[in-house]
Amino acid sequence: MKTADKMEVLNSQSAEFIAQGEVGKFLKLIPDTFIIKGSEQENGFNQGYAIRHINRKDILLIDVVEKETRAAVKHLVEDGYSIKGIILSNSSVYKNAYANLKTLSEDAGGAPIYAHPRNSIKDDYKLKDVTAKQDIVKHFDLKIYDLPGNGGGSILIYSDINDGMLFTGEDAIGSSYNIDENTFTRPTMESKNSEFGLAESWGAFEEDFSYLFPLHGKPAFNLEDGQQTDILNKLSRIQS
């Protein structure tokens, strides 16, 4: 994770940069924030993220569990980074994991794994409750938002750095990399109650964010106030 100059950072803030990037390699998007591409999906690929702490040594991984990303995680450890945790934004992320949670943790240098306590993950490994007051949340200056989710709970992960970053997991799906449009939609929910609950959660969201990083689809960069409002309005709208 070498430091990029200003022009490289600007060039990285595009869907084209991500689409052309190599699967299984960490790509720097903005300062101390990286994306890694996993398995291919209809609108692109599963995407995980890494946040590097201001101390330049500690790393937090978000949804980085697929076989395509395993070597890159091991390289972080070999390069001397300390992976302080792996956060799973929702239960479905685990379905694409290359191994059980114990192995995921070991490959990340023994990093603890965090998830919503209302998840449906069946594994002997003792997950940590990411919605509780965990040191990892404070260490990386995060805010965790509890959402309904499919098959259990899911979370939004918010960070103040870089003028506000929002990691949405499956709770907002970006546009396909194959089209010019860059909008976000809610996922299909298993029940009407969950659908209304998720819409209501988006309607109540008040943090300012300049970047929106989903598990699926194109991220959004350098959002202005009006663009944020438009995204939140669309995500909170219930179709009649």
- Tell me what pLDDT residue 10 has: 52
Question: Could you tell me the pTM of the whole model?
Answer: 0.93
Q: Which residue has the tokens 């994306």?
A: 35
Q: pLDDT tens digits, residue range 167-201?
A: 999 999 999 999 988 999 999 888 888 899 999 99
- Tell me what pLDDT residue 2 has: 42
User: Rounded mean pLDDT of the chain?
Assistant: 91
pLDDT (average), residues 43-68: 95
Half-sphere exposure of 165 (CA within 13 A, CB side): 22
pLDDT band with cut points at 50, 70 and 90 for residue 240 = low
**Fold exhibited by the domain 6-236:** Metallo-beta-lactamase; Chain A (3.60.15)
- 147 vs 72, residue with greater confidence: 72
In this predicted structure, the answer to whether residue 161 has a pLDDT above a threshold of 70 is yes
C-alpha to C-alpha distance for 26 and 16, rounded to whole angstroms:
15
In this predicted structure, the answer to whether residue 43 has a pLDDT above a threshold of 80 is no
